Structure 1
Amino acid sequence: MALGAVLLTASGCDRHADTGSVVVSAVSSADTAPTASRDRSGEGDMPHRVLRNALAQGLVRFDANGQIEPGLAERWIVIDDGGSYIFRLREAKWNDGMPVTADQVVPILRRLTSPQSGNPLAPFLTAIDEIVVMTPQVIEVRLSRPRPDLLKLFAQPEMAIIDRARHGTGPFRIIRSGPPPLLRPIPDPRRAEPDDTETPAPEDDVLLVTESPARAVLRFARGKSDLMLGGRFETWPLIDAGGVASTAVRVDPAAGLFGLAIANRDGFLADAGNRQALSAAFDRTAMLSSIAPNWEAADRLLPDALDSDAPPQIPGWALLTLDERRAGARARVAAWGQPVRLRIALPRGPGANLLYGQIGATLLAISITPERVDNDAPADLRLIDAVAPFDSARWYLATACAPCGPEAQAAIEQARLAPTLATRSAAIAAADAAINQDTSFIPLARPLRWSLVTRRLRQYQPNVRAWHPLNRLRADTN
């Protein structure tokens, strides 16, 4: 059975007719406490991100395919190999009807990019040197170091332009606060006729429901919603339990990290050889297939070279058999001379229960005693499950360094400060080699992200960002 397929046990209650408001369930995580992985990746609470992205937009935003499209900026140019970005604002209005100007947008952008902002993307925006108003409709973002991927960061919901007094600029506004809130598209002034007073059709509205994964799956299976957003590995088993039609399940080819960070480098895990032996001991294919069929395993940190000038580093144990790897790990534990106990921090959910069963069995097989702890508890191994917000190897390296040794940290910092793209690529390759040697992260797979989708949402497209804007679901709106 393919990854996107489940047993078909549901009755014909799927919502097919394109009538009435589009009902969207945005899944709230069972783990309400912030985790290291979500702080580092920018992946916060799904309902909050979906609502923010619906009510406000950045200079650019993502379309249905996860590609960059205009947001508040109608066009832009990139000069000096990504050393400067010049944006021309389109005609837009705040939700109180006042026009948007560069003088209003620039202070908001400065706040969002400040290290003190609390924005989880701020650590990846440190190359921004200055944001200036050039004309009432033109903004320049000047960088001290070139960043060709800056637009992908600017398209994230965390970079939406929100004025504290006037709020956002759409593409939606709230017409009924709820809960759940009812959202209606804001007419694009570039498309609307001056005397156009036509009321949007009910089908253009979106009812945004925030609920638990189990309730969201049940709502969809009963034909009471059109879309469930926010499916992750820990909730995958709910699909079978809810009896959802296989044609409704969409899996994103998400780029990012899924694996165990070495959260505590004391005791047995203080030795890099011990950390490497632990990474080698896992049967990744068996572990992942116990949760979701055909979930592809990963044994290296980088999925591709990306902006490194070398191929991804391959661990030294990659050519050994599983029996050889586990024998080496048992020898390491025996040589330690005292009992080894490791705490594993995981989220809640049936998929996480299955994952812990596999992790625990592996540790017991090499004479280590496992202990499961909550996501926010002190731990020795902590799951990082994060979609990459942009396509730089430095994101993977910095996110996996949680923590890592001083040599690896210095290599990552050198990559961040590299003055040219060529020196940056070389520094990233060196950092990848340093982290591979340090073994601060145990890669297991790519992130598993999935949604439940009805046929009326013709624009929905799985994509590497695992992001699906509400204005790019049913029809081509603004």
Structure 2
Amino acid sequence: MNLRPALLIAALLMTAACDKRRDAGRVVVSAIGGDLAIGDPSRTPQGYAARVMMDSTAQGLVRFDASGQIEPGIAERWIVIDDGMSYIFRLRDAEWSNGAPVTASEVVAVLRRQIAARSRNPLAPFLSAIDEIVEMTPEVIEVRLKRPRPDLLKLFAQPELAVFRTRPFGGSGPLRVVNRTRDMALLRPAIDPTRSPDDVADPTPEDEVRLIGERAARAIARFAAGESDLVTGGTFVDWPLIGSATIAPTNRKIDPAAGLFGLAIVNRTGFLADARVRAAISGALDRQAIVGAFLPEWTPTTQLLPEQLDSATVPVVPDWSAVAQDDRLQTIRALVAAWRSAHPGPLTLRLALPAGPGATILYGQIGASLATMGIRVQRVGAEEDTDLRLIDAVAPYDSARWYLATACAPCGEAATAAIDAARDAPDMASRALRIAEADIALAADVAYIPIARPLRWSLVAVRLKQWEPNARAWHPLNHLRAAPN
């Protein structure tokens, strides 16, 4: 069936009844983005559905709970000593998916591979403060740092730092695979090896989660038909599809996601070579029209850092923010006119976006805004050569350096040096100062055009009492509903 996403939803909903979910039976979850085929993050980047699968079956030293806070994973407790330069984790009794006990040496080997300089793990660049990871006893490991990092636990809670075996591939839970295909898996809570077999109750359907990796259109249609309890992983790309389905407002949930949603200026030659031009485009962009085309509650932003975080000063506000919108438009139009007088013909900028209806709306809004400046926009694929590229990313931890380093894609030599200096600062006080300097340098460089915070949404059945919106936009499958009576 070759239907466009909105038509697919309409076709699947023709026989859909009203929502008759009850708090009985297994929880059915649709994860948007790729299939469930997980692999080693140090070698292959993972899609959203695979990240959910990894988090469910192969926890790290610590995990996120329903509210995005840290809870124990393989480590049952930990302490931080030596002025934040050493984290010591005591491992709990845990088993791999084949029943073998988890040992400290195995945990150390996996984590070393994930943070290695040659690793393709997307978190590896933000773990350079780790000096070494060592086995102290069969139950205790130590993470020694070159520089203090109070936010280290939030990185260790990410699925990319889950601890797993490769042969056979599997982790220590909190859920176990009962059966699976590439797109679907039946999961059941792992049995605590410290409990007596006499104390372990037989599993019931209410204990189980059926996880499905699928496209947004099918996930939304499945939920609207009452055949699933959760759609997770929604972004701006698929948000317009919800309007094609009959879903109660109470089921639509928006995360207060922290992160970046804006345009990286990739091509720094030609018209975009001058920082004044880049700043003028950023100032004249109609952010309110862009976000308003999606959701009234989606708030635009004009600055890179959402708040002070671990910087020594408040975030830099661009100079143009104090200038009236009409004057901003006049500035960029004058720059465009001057360029075109020396370079006859239309001025066109390429914009790299992902596929999907939301990206089409975004393209239309950005194109209309730039058209008022005298600039044409050509849409290209997300990975193609371009002038402007969308960054849509949730922050894995709460450091201003993540925002600065992620927005520098690329940026000038001065801004790059300032960001590197923040990374290498020997203590928290000097790090805060270097971050503040990097924020100033990146603002002057105008390598990134902020638009808003990331839009992350879920569809949540009422039975999932434990689901909570949070800044990480992450919802562990073992924290969805209260245990049945």
> What corresponds to 1:446 in structure 2?
453
> What corresponds to 2:102 in structure 1?
100
> Match of 1:73, as an amino acid?
A
Q: Secondary structure at the match of 2:329?
A: helix
Q: Secondary structure at the match of 1:457?
A: coil
Q: Secondary structure at the match of 2:363?
A: helix
CA distance in 1: counterparts of 2:483 and 2:80, whole angstroms: 27
Alpha-carbon spacing, 1:382–1:348, altered in 2? closer, same or farther (3 Å): same
TM-score (norm 1): 0.93
Q: 2:246 aligns with which of 238, 243, 252?
A: 243
CA distance in 2: counterparts of 1:377 and 1:67, whole angstroms: 37
Larger relative CO (CA 8 A, sep 6+): 1 or 2? 1
Q: 1:186 aligns with which of 186, 190, 202?
A: 190
Q: 1:123 aligns with which of 122, 125, 141?
A: 125
Structure 1 position 125, deviation (Å): 0.3
Alpha-carbon spacing, 1:438–1:342, altered in 2? closer, same or farther (3 Å): same
> Match of 1:395, as an amino acid?
W
Unaligned runs of 5+ in 2: 1-12, 36-40
Structure 1 position 322, deviation (Å): 1.4
> What corresponds to 2:4 in structure 1?
none
> Match of 1:275, as an amino acid?
R
Alpha-carbon spacing, 1:124–1:15, altered in 2? closer, same or farther (3 Å): farther
Q: Summarize the alignment of residues 348-427 of structure 1 with structure 2, pairs less than 5 Å apart.
A: 348-427=355-434
Deviations, residues 424-445 of structure 1 (Å, cap 9, x unaligned): 0000000000000000000000
> What corresponds to 1:252 in structure 2?
255
CA distance in 1: counterparts of 2:390 and 2:180, whole angstroms: 36
8 Å CA contact 2:422–2:434 kept in 1: the answer is yes
> What corresponds to 1:303 in structure 2?
306
Structure 1 position 16, deviation (Å): 2.9
Aligned length: 458
> Which segment is superposed worse, 357-366 or 193-202?
193-202
> What corresponds to 2:141 in structure 1?
139
Structure 1 position 286, deviation (Å): 1.4
8 Å CA contact 1:43–1:386 kept in 2: the answer is no
Unaligned runs of 5+ in 1: 1-8, 31-38
> What corresponds to 2:3 in structure 1?
none
> What corresponds to 2:6 in structure 1?
none
Structure 1 position 278, deviation (Å): 0.7
> Which segment is superposed worse, 332-341 or 266-275?
332-341
> Match of 1:324, as an amino acid?
D
> What corresponds to 1:207 in structure 2?
210
8 Å CA contact 1:132–1:139 kept in 2: the answer is yes
Deviations, residues 405-464 of structure 1 (Å, cap 9, x unaligned): 000000000000000101100000000000000000000000000000001111100100
> What corresponds to 2:93 in structure 1?
91
> Match of 2:406, as an amino acid?
T
Structure 1 position 18, deviation (Å): 1.4
CA distance in 1: counterparts of 2:326 and 2:34, whole angstroms: 37
> Match of 2:29, as an amino acid?
V
CA distance in 2: counterparts of 1:177 and 1:358, whole angstroms: 42
User: Which consecutive aligned stretches of 4+ in structure 1 deviate over 4 angstroms post-superposition?
Assistant: 9-12
Structure 1 position 44, deviation (Å): 4.4
> Match of 1:385, as an amino acid?
D
Q: Secondary structure at the match of 1:447?
A: coil
8 Å CA contact 1:283–1:322 kept in 2: the answer is no
Q: Secondary structure at the match of 1:58?
A: coil
8 Å CA contact 1:232–1:450 kept in 2: the answer is yes
Q: Summarize the alignment of residues 105-116 of structure 1 with structure 2, pairs less than 5 Å apart.
A: 105-116=107-118
8 Å CA contact 2:61–2:73 kept in 1: the answer is yes
Is residue 229 of structure 1 aligned with residue 232 of structure 2? yes
> What corresponds to 2:285 in structure 1?
282
> Match of 1:147, as an amino acid?
R
The percent of aligned pairs where both chains have the same amino acid is 58
CA distance in 2: counterparts of 1:170 and 1:269, whole angstroms: 49
8 Å CA contact 2:45–2:121 kept in 1: the answer is no
Structure 1 position 193, deviation (Å): 2.9
TM-score (norm 2): 0.92
> Which segment is superposed worse, 200-209 or 429-438?
200-209
CA distance in 2: counterparts of 1:388 and 1:354, whole angstroms: 24
CA distance in 2: counterparts of 1:347 and 1:291, whole angstroms: 16
Deviations, residues 384-415 of structure 1 (Å, cap 9, x unaligned): 00000000000000000000000000000000
Deviations, residues 3-24 of structure 1 (Å, cap 9, x unaligned): xxxxxx9986225311211110
> Match of 2:92, as an amino acid?
R
